[in-house]
Amino acid sequence: MGRDNDILLIQGKEIKRNAALLKRCLGCFLPYKLRIITAVCAMSAAGLCDAGTAWLVKPALDEIFINKNSSALLLIPPAFLGITALKASLKLLQNYLMQYTGLRVLEQLRGEIYRKIISLPLRFYEETSTGVLMSRIMNDVSSICASMPALVTAVRQLITMTGLLFVIFYQDAALALRAVLFLPLAFLPFFYFGRRMRKLSRRGQAQTGDISAVLHEILSGIRVVKSFGMEQRERTRFDRENKRLLRTSLKSSLAGDLSSSTMELVGGIGIGVIIWIGAVQVVDGTATPGTFFSFVAALIMLYQPVKQLSESNLAVQGALAGAERVFGLLDDAGLTIEKNGELTAEGEFRELSFDKVSFAYPDGTQALRDITFTLRAGERLALVGPSGAGKSTLAALVPRFYAPQTGSILFNGRPLEDYDTPSLRSRIAVVSQDAFLFNMSVRENILYSLPDAGEETCRAAAEAAYADEFIVNLPQGYDTVTGERGVKLSGGQKQRITIARAIAKNAPLLILDEATSALDSRSERVVQQALDNLMRGRTSMVIAHRLSTILCADRILVLDGGRITGQGSHAELLLSCPLYAKLYEMQFKSGGENSEVAALPGASGLRSAHS
């Protein structure tokens, strides 16, 4: 008994959840209620046309074929033609209105979920696959938009059923009661297969997201795949996901077909029994052939809307499965968009202060501990330390990609959270070692933050970044499309374009996150010159292992294990910070920095101080 109560409780919760999801789906269509009402009226009238067609069978047989009434020829065939033309016109109007409404809702929902996703903190993207997000926007939203047309179609079938039931009861009430006894049997597949389709739709949409994620990852990393000769492995990986989706799709298709076939079988049995009973009545003379055929026509037409109701139910179940994923993302209280303050960041940059800042990642990894320092206007600050020391994490806190758990970060004396995030980020330019370019022209990439800027701004930024010299030699010059992630350009060329993009932005605070670490020596020298132009007159926070950048810094912070273990000038740290001296010694002895250090002013004195 307790188990039965638990089952009923679970089913009750599922019904409530389905009702809530369906209400959310229908709420998306409310702005277009006048079109939907018009479509419902049109399809209701079209449904009644079916009943009118069935009713006309009786006078057609009795008056024309049996009674040989010639005047009926002038009325009944045109009536058939008029009803058919009216039905076709109404269905055309209904289909157009529902297609229009569905496409508008599709546009609205995709825009809504895209706006939510793009407003989420960076941490969300590190924990969620890009392919899954793409599937939410494209596939799951499309399934939701099928809910309203399916429901409106269901309304039409119910109206058609009502009209046809009226006809069969009008023609022969006793026989109609026997026929209606088969209807509950016809609805059994409606409920059983509906639940099955909901489960399969949910699984299929999840697997579509998985296969999108695999496909995006493979295509994004195609150079790595080919360089390691792993094409066969990735084929196997993709085929595995593809076959999982195939199996689910086949099960879903089979469930839909079984639902339809079962309903046709039940309907066929019912119609066969009723035809036999009706035929006996005609033979006995208790019913006319016209009455019998009108009744049978209405009965045959009655099972068609029952079947289509089942198909509409399957579509609604698929929509509910998609709604769970879409509205789950939109309504998830844990997925809060980036917080915005009310203060606009403007005017001159004065200082950036960290006050006992600590930060840990969601998995518990402590990245920063009690970080305290101040970066003043015009200063060039370098962050150094071994891998995993927290340098990049520290830099990522400045534009509020992450928020610290404890402590505060002040921008011109005000906490970062007080500022409007877009205005704050407009005051900060970031150049990282991952030189990301969009798949658009060189000009559009350089002027990404200034789409309305002119050619003069673009050329000036490119020249300052030493990029103009190679851009003008590209096939279409500044109009050359760089390819996905800048694949058509070399590493040094991509980096110089990203520097030009930062120069064009003209932000007072600059963050360089190992911007030259992935380049060869020749490219690095050119890029370093471009960086020098970029840093001129700006406040800079530089994360780099290259001594040429470190030696030119006004101040250096040494990080280890998320803590600041030393700070000062290069010469001061060589004497006071063993970790810095060790890092310097390792690079100096490797010979990779020897020629660069020798070329720097005062390099010989620095060596003497160290020795």
On whether the CB atoms of residues 87 and 46 are closer than 8 A, the answer is yes
Instruction: Kindly report, residue by residue over 188-197, the tens digit of the pLDDT.
Output: 665 666 667 6
Return the pLDDT at 353: 92
Return the pLDDT at 354: 92
Mean pLDDT is lowest, of 68-82, 298-312, 586-600, for: 586-600
CB within 8 Å of 609: residues ≥ 6 apart: 571, 574, 575
Return the pLDDT at 611: 35
Other Cβ atoms less than 10 A from the Cβ of 367: the count is 22
Return the pLDDT at 190: 59
At the fourth CATH level, which superfamily is domain 23-329?
ABC transporter type 1, transmembrane domain (1.20.1560.10)
Phi and psi torsions of 514, nearest 5°:
50, 50
* Nearest residue to 139 via CA among 67, 201, 61: 201
CA-to-CA dists, residue 246 to 28, 208, 236, 557, angstroms: 31, 10, 15, 55
Distance from CA of residue 290 to its chain's centroid? 59
| Helix H or strand E segment including 373 | strand 366-376
Instruction: Quote the crossing angle between the two packed helices 183-220 and 231-284, to the nearest 10°.
Output: 160
Return the pLDDT at 601: 36
Using DSSP's 3-state secondary structure scheme, residue 377 falls into coil
* pLDDT class of 410 with cuts at 50, 70, 90: very high
Report the alpha-carbon distance of residue 402 to residue 338 in Å, rounded: 10
pLDDT at 23 over 70: yes
Q: Which residue has the higher pLDDT, 32 or 334?
A: 32
CB within 8 Å of 347: residues ≥ 6 apart: 412
Return the pLDDT at 490: 83
Mean pLDDT is lowest, of 12-16, 86-90, 129-133, 474-478, for: 12-16
* pLDDT class of 592 with cuts at 50, 70, 90: very low
* Nearest residue to 55 via CA among 26, 80, 88: 80
* Nearest residue to 509 via CA among 347, 293, 326: 347
Return the pLDDT at 263: 66
Strands 509-513 and 428-432, sheet pairing: parallel
Instruction: Kindly report, residue by residue over 256-282, the tens digit of the pLDDT.
Output: 667 666 766 766 676 677 667 666 766
Q: Which residue has the higher pLDDT, 595 or 411?
A: 411
On whether the CB atoms of residues 566 and 579 are closer than 8 A, the answer is yes
What residues are paired with 354 via a beta bridge?
373, 409
* pLDDT class of 602 with cuts at 50, 70, 90: very low
Long-range CB contacts for residues 415-418, cutoff 8 Å, separation at least 24 = 417/339, 417/341, 418/341, 418/342, 418/343
Return the pLDDT at 589: 60
* pLDDT class of 187 with cuts at 50, 70, 90: low
On whether the CB atoms of residues 420 and 342 are closer than 8 A, the answer is yes
Give the length of the chain.
611
Q: Where are the beta strands (DSSP E) in 405-538?
A: 406-411, 414-415, 428-432, 509-513
Q: Which residue has the higher pLDDT, 566 or 310?
A: 566
Return the pLDDT at 369: 92
Report the alpha-carbon distance of residue 68 to residue 576 in Å, rounded: 118
* pLDDT class of 600 with cuts at 50, 70, 90: very low
Report the alpha-carbon distance of residue 505 to residue 455 in Å, rounded: 14
Average pLDDT over residues 414-432: 88
Report the alpha-carbon distance of residue 589 to residue 266 in Å, rounded: 87
Instruction: Kindly report, residue by residue over 324-382, the tens digit of the pLDDT.
Output: 777 877 877 667 777 778 888 888 889 999 999 999 887 778 889 999 999 998 888 98
% of the chain at pLDDT higher than 70: 77
Mean pLDDT is lowest, of 198-212, 365-379, 403-417, 468-482, for: 198-212
On whether the CB atoms of residues 430 and 505 are closer than 8 A, the answer is no
Most confident option among 142-146, 285-289, 488-492: 488-492
Report the alpha-carbon distance of residue 130 to residue 114 in Å, rounded: 12
CA-to-CA dists, residue 573 to 297, 446, 606, 609, angstroms: 97, 38, 11, 11
CB within 8 Å of 418: residues ≥ 6 apart: 341, 342, 343
Report the alpha-carbon distance of residue 465 to residue 453 in Å, rounded: 17
* Nearest residue to 500 via CA among 536, 526, 540, 464: 464
For residue 506, what are its two tokens? 């003209």
Instruction: Kindly report, residue by residue over 144-163, the tens digit of the pLDDT.
Output: 776 667 777 777 777 777 77
* Nearest residue to 379 via CA among 137, 526, 556: 556
Return the pLDDT at 608: 35
Return the pLDDT at 546: 64
On whether the CB atoms of residues 170 and 299 are closer than 8 A, the answer is no
Q: Which residue has the tokens 């033609």?
A: 81
CA-to-CA dists, residue 340 to 348, 457, 463, 568, angstroms: 21, 30, 36, 35
Return the pLDDT at 72: 73
pLDDT at 494 over 60: yes
Instruction: Kindly report, residue by residue over 498-538, the tens digit of the pLDDT.
Output: 888 888 888 888 888 876 655 556 666 777 777 777 777 78
For residue 317, what are its two tokens? 């179940």
Report the alpha-carbon distance of residue 341 to residue 351 in Å, rounded: 19
Using DSSP's 3-state secondary structure scheme, residue 352 falls into strand
* pLDDT class of 181 with cuts at 50, 70, 90: low
% of the chain at pLDDT higher than 90: 5
CB within 8 Å of 357: residues ≥ 6 apart: 368, 370, 371, 372, 397, 404, 406, 407, 408, 409
Phi and psi torsions of 340, nearest 5°:
-115, 135
CA-to-CA dists, residue 262 to 175, 269, 298, angstroms: 23, 11, 20
Instruction: Kindly report, residue by residue over 545-558, the tens digit of the pLDDT.
Output: 665 567 778 899 99
What are the sequence ranges of the domains in the chain?
23-329
Instruction: Kindly report, residue by residue over 67-95, the tens digit of the pLDDT.
Output: 777 777 778 778 888 888 888 888 888 88
On whether the CB atoms of residues 511 and 541 are closer than 8 A, the answer is yes
Report the alpha-carbon distance of residue 83 to residue 46 in Å, rounded: 9
Average pLDDT over residues 171-180: 71
